[in-house]
Chains A and B, each alone.
Chain A
Amino acid sequence: MAKSKKNLSFLIMTLFCSSLVHAQNHVSAERKDSIDNGNYTFKELREHSNKGAANNALDVLSGQAAGVNVTSNGLDRMAMLNSVRVRGTTSIIGGNDPLVLIDGVTSDVLTLSTIYPADIESFRILKNAAETAMYGSRGASGVIEVKTKKGTGRGFQISYEGNVGFEQMYKHLDMLNAAEYVATAKALGIYCNNGGYNTDFYKVITRTGLVNNHYLAFSGGTPQSNYRASFGVIDHNTIIKKKDYGVFVAKLDVTQKAFNDKLTGDFGVFGSSFKNHDIFDTQMLFYSAACQNPTFPAGTDKNGNWIKNESATYINPPAILLEEKKDSKDMNFDAHIKLSYDFNSNWRISTFGSYLYSSTENGQFCPTWVWAQGNVYRGEFKKEEWLGNVAVNFNKKFGIHAISAEASSEYRKLNKSAFWVYAKGIPTNDFHYDNIGATASRPYGGTESTYEGQALASVMGSITYELLNKYVFSVNARSDGSSMVGNNNRWGFFPSVSFTWDLKKERFLAHIKPLSLLKIRSSLGQAGNLGGISAYTTMNTARQTGIVPIKNSPTVTLGMVKNNNPDLKWETKTTFNIGADVGFFDNRIMFTAEYYYSRTSDMLYAYEVPVPPFAYNTLLANIGAMSNRGFEFGLSMQPISKKDMELNFNMNLSFQSNKLISLSGEYKGMNMSAANITAIGSLNGAGQNGGDNNVVYQIVGQPLGVFYLPHCNGLIKNNDGNYSYNIQDLDNNGKVDLSDGGDRYIAGQATPKVTLGSNISFRYKDFYIALQMNGAFGHKIFNGTGLAFTNMTSFPDYNVLKDAPKKNIMDQRVSDYWLEKGNYLNFEHLTIGYNVPLKKNVIRSLRISCNISNLGTITGYKGLTPMINSYVMNSTMGIDDKRTYPLYRTYSLGLSVQF
């Protein structure tokens, strides 16, 4: 019911892009100011990497910034929206989504995904403590700063960009066809229901997808007074029938200077709408498409009835599932105003205010063909945010010294409200969710409304001192106060310090000609995080607990619904980083390297507590600790740089390791210790409901998300000729115990140890070609799809993989037999373009390009694709379990014109 999230991948691409780009000197890796500490602003790289295929800002980010991960399989873009991570997961409870700021307005990945890439002036990714300090707790999990294009002040300009294309499935799981299905049943001597058809259910649920993106922008004015307006439309019909989405975006920015240019005012409004028709239950749909009896018809039988395979309760005729609806509509409006006044060259005061309103409407419909009596759902989720900020800046140079200082205070208020209705017993399947009045039953609990208010206040001061234009020291101190923590812990103090040394400016290096850049930077600091919690958790409040008969009439009762912790405080992340930038030959070769270590303490988590004396078994508290460390390495080269020919190569590698240090400590003077081993992911499906089916665990002393599995020593042949897994008795006690504390061992981690992003572009005269790749290494994937679809005990109720009858495994126990290496290298986009040379100056530039996305993947993983959720800690992490989209490619043609 939560707000649907979209195109994360887009974001990620952009991020990645930005860090790569910065390495190239000619890509205007401009330093903002000296506090930035190696953080560059990345201009959109359209000139060189030409991501014509990017119809979404997330595509631009994906795979381009070291330390930023997105599960970018390119298949389910919506799912990616939840998966952007900057330097991994640092909090268990949540709040791991980076802060997205669009022109200073708090935003989210969803909104970012609706912005057309061509509207984006630059991305900045802030990862280190000193960099994120100015955003305090909001930026604890990294910051993605997006600056959109403003009027240029160079008179009227107009530009159009667009691309159209199609998508085509190229691979899906290879299940038995009708003849093989019938033959297998016959060979096994078992009855199977032969419906007489030969249906490929993947064909039933897929189509040729269509992509349509159009974007128009115009700007005008003078340097003192200018504007820019843009409109964008995205229409995307995916390869899955009935799954499509459309975006409409409009944006207007105005800049006005006054009082001899001392006052600058920026005003902007942004509005977007995003409509999404999603799959009701992804796993159910793809499970059904794979396992439905292939002799059944694609649609209804001659009498118009759906043929249900009633012995296969976990699946349905795939075409019925497409009749279910899960729609959402997001509307987003925000406005911001920024005024800054320069008193003189030293003093400046600036104020910033923004307002944001967003709403998500959900509608769901389950027809009677799938659910007895049918049911419908409608919901609305609204969010309003006000943010105000006042800052004073001081800058001064005295000979070899330069000082800059800033003091600011900020207040942010966020209100969320929701309303939803769930009803069942529909008289007809024709109303969908549009006539909820025509339902028989709206039970208690089916209609609800909620309200939540959060407030955050901050005061901050920072001083930067620069000596000889070579050494930069800065100190930053801030206090964040939140309404959500306990009254006695409201304010958290989070300081940071940083240092940069520009060695190239030292005399002893000046004569080394090939070396064009050498800089060392380091910072240490703290940030508070409350991102994963909601309001009122510290209060002793009561909500409805249920409905009971009192004096013969149904009565709602109120009471405590969770354990309360009045002492809740800030979760604190302490980060240290040290890095260097090195450039040679006028920065045609550039390396950047950075090491970081972060430790999360007072970690917020819903700790398991003993019942009794607690009524509920979890308590939100600050107890444990977790660490993340990593090494990020970037390389960019421009081996050829001539007038007619140019070759660029960028690559970044991130090594990352995470460790859950502890989940025990003190609470109210009591020693609390949460369970050391907690299952977080298991399999779902026929015969896999509960029991010893857990696969991924959270274990103290290990990275978050490890595979903790029984060990299988291959297959053993049973008396009746079939095979079982030979599960080892690891503790040699004579019994094989598959339960959590039994014969299991830690068999690998679900998150990649190394991620790679790379792009290569080549230009010859007016032609160019660009290739973007990403990869992940060192992690494992549990092939739950393989386990389930190979298990012959499910046959013939559920269809099986082509090679399953030969393997003849009749066993569905979980073990490391199905644990595989997840390493992959993925070719994400290939773009070939032509800049049409123009003589006349009506059209200033014209470019055409063709793009292919999701080219292919090199991997040893035997399932459909290794690009599953390997980053976000939830019940699907590391487990390929019947929910993977069929693989498809996107082919599109792009056109870009500027007048």
Chain B
Amino acid sequence: MRTFIKYILAVSMMFCCWACLDEHPKDQLDQEAIYNNADNIYKNAVASLYNYIGSNQESEGLQGTCRGIYDYNTLTTDEAMNPIRGGDWYDGGLWENMYKHTWNANDMYLYNVWKYLFKVIVLSNQSLSVIDSHKQLLTAEQAENYKAEVRAVRALFYYYAMDMFGRIPIVTAYDVKPNQVVQSERSEVFKFIVKEFQKVAPQLADKHANKEGDYYGRITRPVVNFLLAKLALNAEIYADDDWTDEKKLDGKDIFFTVNGNKLNAWQTCVWYCDQLTQEGYELETDYASNFSVHNENSKENIFTIPLDKNLYLNEYHYLFRSRHYKHGGAYGGSSENGTCATVSTVKAYGYGTDHVDNRFKTNFYADTVFVDGKKIYLDNGKPLVYMPLELKLNLSDSPYKQTAGARVGKYEVDRTAYSDGRQVDNDIVLFRYGDALLMKAEAKVRNGEDGSIELNAIRDRVGMPHVESTLNNILKERLLELVWEGWRRQDLIRFGKYTKAYDQRIPIENENTGFTTVFPIPQKCLDLNKNLKQNKGYK
């Protein structure tokens, strides 16, 4: 019997040995294995970050999908709204809160935006640490160039995060402990971003990133120059650490070191805009061609999100979201009948007068709609007629519940699109030279100079008469030229108008302090990191 028990024990032991508990994945690799040579380091540590510029996920991507950065910069302004249409588009008060500025720290989409922006920042930090720890596989030049590109991506995401949330944590290393994450003042974040861009710009290629080729979709020097111009133009805002007090900064007193020279904010903006001119950007003769299905050859676009319905995953939802069901139906898909231009926007274009801006037809669908030369008929047998002036925040009791509001146009309709028009081939335009010219005009005017050459170059292109380069005219021109491009919130804040009454909106309580010019730090972030403090004015 003893021998027998021994035998049993031996069998059991064999069992346990056989019971090898190590894991051997087959459908995933050890992280070390993906950084085994210079090409793979570039691919997996640098290029992989470009997956996050656009998206097909709600609240992700710098533009293209819904309930993300674009919506918080567009539907919170006098440019556009997403009205309640009876049973549709109430969505728990989401769109109403955006338009009225009554969002709060529990807004889950703001949290999603935060998560998205910082995810890319943390992944960038990981990439930097990967490049550092694999230096032996890279030449010194490769290591420097790879790092420069990653740092530029990281600074890009910091720029959006600062613009939206103001006081945010600066995290630059990968192995940071949660309790080491603390917020910085907005001016510090601002200086950090400017410094990063200035530092890496010389190492980036001087190439047009919107064109197909080696630099397609990548951050190149012109992209950084454009961002530096933006940062300088908004320096008065970004350098202000207490945006709820009376005191405002003056761009003439904010200085940058540019190319060895000390320039004020406006001079800095002009300098970087001029860099873009030198880099060969120019206005396209046809305004609409920047947004055509195949806009990769635009001489004007600086940074785009590459879209190709068969190759990439990025999507563009704004036409789909905006047009009437029947309108989408006429293109062979469905639609959501949502977003509209506000009444004040169409009026700014001169809609309803004899002097309608020439860009109106490109930028909007209004009045009777034609597809392939044919009218679109509604269920009641009448043709579809959009009613731009009938728009209200709540259309539930309106006879124009379904048809009020001018709709999103601008991008050429891709008739071969998938997913009801969400998967198209038009690249999404993030930055373009037309904007740079308007920035330059504005910076010159703010610096006490005349900006009419740049301003009127924009108007000449679309055949509109010249106007005087006043700040008001420039702000208006920015609306006319850049509508649907996601800049309106930043522009209104810079002009001090974001917290004021406009279109059909009245300011909310205490909004005169300016607290709504940044969004609240999401409550979840505060709960998860006790170091973080809420922005002023939000409870």
Contacts and interface: CB of A to CB of B under 8 A. Distances in A.
Interface of A: 191, 193, 308-311, 313, 343, 347, 349, 372-373, 388, 390, 392, 407, 409-411, 424-425, 441, 443-445, 449-453, 455, 457, 459, 481-484, 490, 535-536, 538-543, 545-552, 554-555, 557-560, 608-617, 670-676, 686-693, 720, 737-742, 791, 793-795, 797-798, 810, 812-814
Interface residues of B, number: 104
Interface in B35-73: 42-45, 47-48, 50-52, 67
Contacts, number: 293
Interface in B402-427: 402, 418-421
Nearest to B114: A611
B28 A541 contact: yes
4 A-B pairs with least C-beta separation: A691-B92, A794-B87, A546-B51, A457-B19
B44 A558 contact: yes
A382 to B, nearest CB: 14
B87 A687 contact: yes
Nearest to B45: A559
Contacts of A552: 212-214, 216
B372 interface: no
Contacts of B216: 549, 552
Nearest to A720: B397
Where chain A touches its partner, the secondary structure class is loop
Interface in B356-383: 379-380
Contacts of B90: 687-688, 691, 793, 812
B246 interface: no
Interface in B11-48: 11-12, 15-16, 18-34, 42-45, 47-48
B23 A535 contact: yes
Contacts of A311: 88, 325, 337, 379, 402
Q: Most chain-A Cβ atoms within 10 A of its Cβ — which of B23, B27, B94, B325?
A: B23
Contacts of A812: 87, 90
Given A411-B15, A535-B23, A687-B87, A610 B529 contact: yes
A126 B179 CA distance: 45
A612 B122 contact: yes
Given A612-B171, A615-B119, A739-B107, A390 B25 contact: no
B348 interface: no
11 contacts: A313-B325, A538-B23, A546-B48, A546-B52, A548-B47, A552-B213, A558-B44, A610-B529, A613-B176, A688-B90, A689-B91
Interface string B104-132: 11111100001100110111001000000
B202 to A, nearest CB: 22
Contacts of B88: 311, 313, 686-687, 794, 797
Contact of B420 (A372, A455, A483, A687): A372
A552 B92 CA distance: 43
A530 B26 CA distance: 21
B502 interface: no
A611 B51 contact: no
Given A313-B325, A547-B313, A549-B216, A693 B91 contact: yes
Contacts of B106: 739-742
A541 B25 contact: yes
Contacts of A484: 23
A717 to B, nearest CB: 15
A312 to B, nearest CB: 8
A695 to B, nearest CB: 11
A692 B20 CA distance: 50
A611 B87 contact: no
A740 B250 CA distance: 40
Contact of A613 (B47, B67, B177): B177
A392 B379 CA distance: 78
Contacts of A692: 92-94
B23 A536 contact: yes
Interface string B337-361: 1000000000000000000000000
A797 B87 contact: yes
A545 B312 CA distance: 12
A309 B22 CA distance: 57
A548 B53 CA distance: 10
A691 B28 contact: no
B27 A449 contact: yes
Interface string B290-323: 0000000000000000101111110000000000
Contacts of B418: 372-373, 424-425, 441
A660 to B, nearest CB: 16
B169 A542 contact: no
Contact of B25 (A535, A609, A616): A535
B30 to A, nearest CB: 6
Contacts of B524: 608, 675
A193 B381 CA distance: 9
A272 B104 CA distance: 55
Nearest to A349: B8
A94 B47 CA distance: 36
B67 A690 contact: yes
Given A557-B44, A795-B87, 9 more contacts: A193-B379, A309-B379, A407-B12, A441-B418, A547-B312, A548-B50, A550-B47, A558-B34, A676-B527
Contacts of A690: 67, 91-92, 94, 108-109
A675 B526 CA distance: 10
A481 B18 CA distance: 13
A557 B48 contact: yes
Contact of A541 (B29, B214, B528): B29
B203 interface: no
Contacts of A554: 308, 311-312
Which of A191, A313, A687 has the most C-beta atoms of chain B within 10 angstroms of its own C-beta?
A: A687
Contact of B104 (A612, A615, A737, A795): A737
A616 B119 contact: yes
A687 B213 contact: no
Contacts of A671: 179
B218 to A, nearest CB: 9
A672 B310 CA distance: 43
Contacts of A308: 329
A347 B1 contact: yes
B523 interface: yes
A694 B24 CA distance: 41
A791 B88 CA distance: 11
Contacts of A410: 15
A548 B49 CA distance: 9
